[in-house]
Amino acid sequence: MEYREMGGKRVSLLGFGCMRFPEKRSRIDEDAAASMLEAAYAGGVNYFDTAWVYHNDRSEDFVGRFLSSKPRDSFFVATKLPCWLVKKPADAERIFAEQLRRLRVDRIDFYLLHALNAHSWDEMERLGVVDVLARLKESGSIGQLGFSFHDGYPTFERIIRARPWDFCQIQYNYMDVDYQAGRAGYELARALGVPVIVMEPLRGGSLARLPKSVTGPFRSLTPDASDASWAFRWLAGQDGIRVVLSGMSSADQVAENLRVFDKPAALSARELAAFDEVAVEIRSRVRNRCTGCGYCMPCPSGVAIPWNFAVWNGWGMYENAGEARWNWHNKDFADRRADRCVSCGQCVPKCPQGIDIPADLARARAELDGIKRTRRV
């Protein structure tokens, strides 16, 4: 296992993301998940990342029970404050105390404000929650204080410059260099000396099972290397990254990841070029040219036009049926799906890409409705 330094701690480059354990009847399959954690721990993983909400609020307790069997100085546990549940500073204190209890520790080694965006950051500042967490750090109950992030780069810059963070956690992979914080965010964190933890290194599993038609550049260089190993090596080659979180959901994934992170080989110039070629191939598979600019919005019928096209284009690029179905049937978007479109045509002249929006919404709907049920990856 490769290790990197983060705030004076020696953390494993592979971190165990505890949000995709195997399940049985909608509960964590504890026997299978404990075996996976045990294998990862034995293989040198010492960073375990959970959150209040993972597995319907059950991940922390399960991970806490597993870690309580290990010497306290042999692992680091990370968890997150569910900012959306915090309405006053006392809520943050109450939730934190409960997390200590669930995790069976008296210190959270790495504590994050969960999924910050412009709105939640403003709320956390307004409520003084960051001050509460800073005091918990001063008292030793928090080892290092950071945040995970889901919003655009300008917001990332605003947050990371707001205070001296110990670390940040961003979605980053070779296909998301221009998404959310992206490469610019990574470079800014590096320039500010803020260690980066990466989440979604495989883009929800999509980069682990690429359509065969796009992987020629990888296969021609290393015929037997998995798609996932390519994605991981791309991250391992960047020294600002201290932990790559993988939400492993099977023993096979644990075994393969341990192999990849044992000694991740540096990328050659030809290999780096292969990423560019594969990315071009993947992007060429989009269904339409929607950039997500939102100029077509609002739709009088409530259709979330950019979201519908993002799901459709994601399906086109990655053929990840599990992810596409999960997105398409996301109940939060049930009343904003393409089936609400009444073809009034109001949005069409507003689209700078010249997309025939009602026609493409109909195509998206037909295609996404037809995806066969499969396990979410």
Three-state DSSP state, 113:
strand
Bridge partners (DSSP) of residue 108 are 142
Considering the complex, state which of residue 111 and residue 312 has its C-beta at the smaller distance from ligand SF4.
312
- Of 95-103, 225-233, 298-306, 363-371: span binding ligand SF4 (CB under 6 A): 298-306
Question: Would you mind telling me the total number of residues written for the chain in this entry?
Answer: 377
**290 binds ligand SF4, rule: CB under 6 A:** yes
**Minimum CB–partner distance for residue 278 and ligand SF4 (Å):** 25
**Minimum CB–partner distance for residue 162 and ligand SF4 (Å):** 30
Considering the complex, state which of residue 343 and residue 374 has its C-beta at the smaller distance from ligand SF4.
343
The amino acid that residue 319 corresponds to is: E
Which one of residues 181, 248, 299, 364 is an interface residue with ligand SF4 (CB under 6 A)?
A: 299
**292 binds ligand SF4, rule: CB under 6 A:** yes
| DSSP characters over 167-220 | EEEEE--TT-TTSTTHHHHHHHHHHHT--EEEE-TTTTTGGGS--GGG-HHHHH
**236 binds ligand SF4, rule: CB under 6 A:** no
Which one of residues 85, 293, 334, 366 is an interface residue with ligand SF4 (CB under 6 A)?
A: 293
**Minimum CB–partner distance for residue 311 and ligand SF4 (Å):** 13
The interface with ligand SF4 within residues 336-375 (CB under 6 A) comprises 341-347, 350-351, 353, 355, 357-358, 361
Considering the complex, state which of residue 196 and residue 304 has its C-beta at the smaller distance from ligand SF4.
304
CA–CA distance from 254 to each of 33, 35, 312, 342 (Å)? 11, 10, 30, 47
**154 binds ligand SF4, rule: CB under 6 A:** no
**Minimum CB–partner distance for residue 147 and ligand SF4 (Å):** 28
**291 binds ligand SF4, rule: CB under 6 A:** yes
Size of the site for ligand SF4 (CB under 6 A): 28
Which backbone phi and psi does 285 adopt, to 5 degrees?
Answer: -90, 5
Which one of residues 295, 334, 359, 366 is an interface residue with ligand SF4 (CB under 6 A)?
A: 295
Q: Output the six-digit token pair for 27.
A: 């509960």
Considering the complex, state which of residue 67 and residue 303 has its C-beta at the smaller distance from ligand SF4.
303
Binding mask 300-319 for ligand SF4 (x = CB under 6 A): xx-x-xx--x----------
- Other CB atoms closer than 10 Å to residue 140's CB: what's the count? 9
**Minimum CB–partner distance for residue 178 and ligand SF4 (Å):** 16
DSSP-assigned letter for residue 87: S
| DSSP characters over 89-100 | HHHHHHHHHHHH
- Of 10-18, 106-114, 176-184, 284-292: span binding ligand SF4 (CB under 6 A): 284-292
**Minimum CB–partner distance for residue 132 and ligand SF4 (Å):** 39
Q: In whole angstroms, what separates CA 353 from the centre of its chain?
A: 29
Which backbone phi and psi does 76 adopt, to 5 degrees?
Answer: -120, 135
277 contacts 333 by C-beta, under 8 angstroms: no
**197 binds ligand SF4, rule: CB under 6 A:** no
Q: Output the six-digit token pair for 221.
A: 């260089």
**Minimum CB–partner distance for residue 334 and ligand SF4 (Å):** 16
- Give dist(CA 199, CA 203) in Å, integer: 9
Q: In whole angstroms, what separates CA 323 from the centre of its chain?
A: 13
Considering the complex, state which of residue 102 and residue 337 has its C-beta at the smaller distance from ligand SF4.
337
123 contacts 159 by C-beta, under 8 angstroms: no
**243 binds ligand SF4, rule: CB under 6 A:** no
**Minimum CB–partner distance for residue 276 and ligand SF4 (Å):** 24
Alpha helices (runs of H) in the chain, residue ranges in sequence order:
30-42, 54-57, 59-67, 89-103, 118-127, 129-138, 153-160, 182-192, 216-221, 227-236, 251-260, 269-283, 305-318, 321-328, 357-369
Considering the complex, state which of residue 15 and residue 358 has its C-beta at the smaller distance from ligand SF4.
358
Considering the complex, state which of residue 216 and residue 292 has its C-beta at the smaller distance from ligand SF4.
292
The interface with ligand SF4 within residues 57-116 (CB under 6 A) comprises none
List residues near ligand SF4 by CB under 6 A: 290-296, 299-301, 303, 305-306, 309, 341-347, 350-351, 353, 355, 357-358, 361
